[in-house]
Amino acid sequence: MWERLPEGWKQELKGALEAPSAEALERFVDQERGEATIYPPEEELFSAFQLTPPERVRVLILGQDPYHGPGQAHGLAFSVRPGVRLPPSLLNIFKELQSDLGLPPAMGGSLVSWAEQGVLLLNAVLTVRAGTPNSHAAHGWEEFTDAVIQAVSARPEPVVFVLWGGYARKKKKLIDTKRHAILEAAHPSPLSASQGFFGSRPFSRINEALVARGREPIDWRLPG
């Protein structure tokens, strides 16, 4: 499993990968793949890391758990493959994107173009059993992805961390708040989007924070 992680990230996460929890996690995921359908497929497990090398990270958007329906998860938080019906949270993200920046609706739910620009779309847990949300929580992924957040925070370049919802906001303690910008809001889930996600204008605020720190803004346009 870990051999699929790009070399640049292996260097950044050396301590986490050498920890006993990483070996135990690999055994757990391998066993699960032998017994059930696990998303995303193994070859897409580290898509976020492959598309966004550590030195290119400008924004980190933290999700919680991969989508657990067929054909949805492909290794990027909130994103789905082209042609897949938009999940409710992603639909709300696109509504806010349109409201914030006046962009036309995207035709599909792939966020690859954001990842290629330096938006690390990181889930706290990177695998899930089909049809069973949070089934791989508390098996070691959190230790690994906490290390990812800390590694990004430790890099010299300023980054904008986007924490949507109570779960993500708990990770604030892992971030050097003196050097990095943090945007917090309600989660885009239909259960909470109306409680502070809608109207939070995350996309324009991310770009304002990047420009204020001397970094290039993100082009949030998606294929129409």
Residue 135 CA to residue 159 CA, distance in Å, equals: 30
Catalytic one of 30, 65, 100, 176: 65
Bridge partners of 105? none
Pick the closest to residue 127 from 4, 28, 35, 13 (CA basis): 28
- Alpha carbons 140 and 121: distance in angstroms, whole number: 19
Q: In sequence order, what are the residues at sequence separation of 6 or more whose Cβ sits closer than 8 angstroms to the Cβ of residue 208?
A: none
Cα separation, 118 vs 218, in Å, equals 8
> Cα–Cα distances in Å, from 126 out to 25, 32, 101, 102, 143?
11, 13, 30, 32, 11
CA-CA distance, 82 to 108, in Å (whole number)?
A: 5
From CA 189, how far away is CA 6, in angstroms rounded?
31
Is 146 marked active-site? no
C-alpha–C-alpha distance, residues 141 and 63, integer Å: 13
Q: Which residues are tagged catalytic?
A: 65
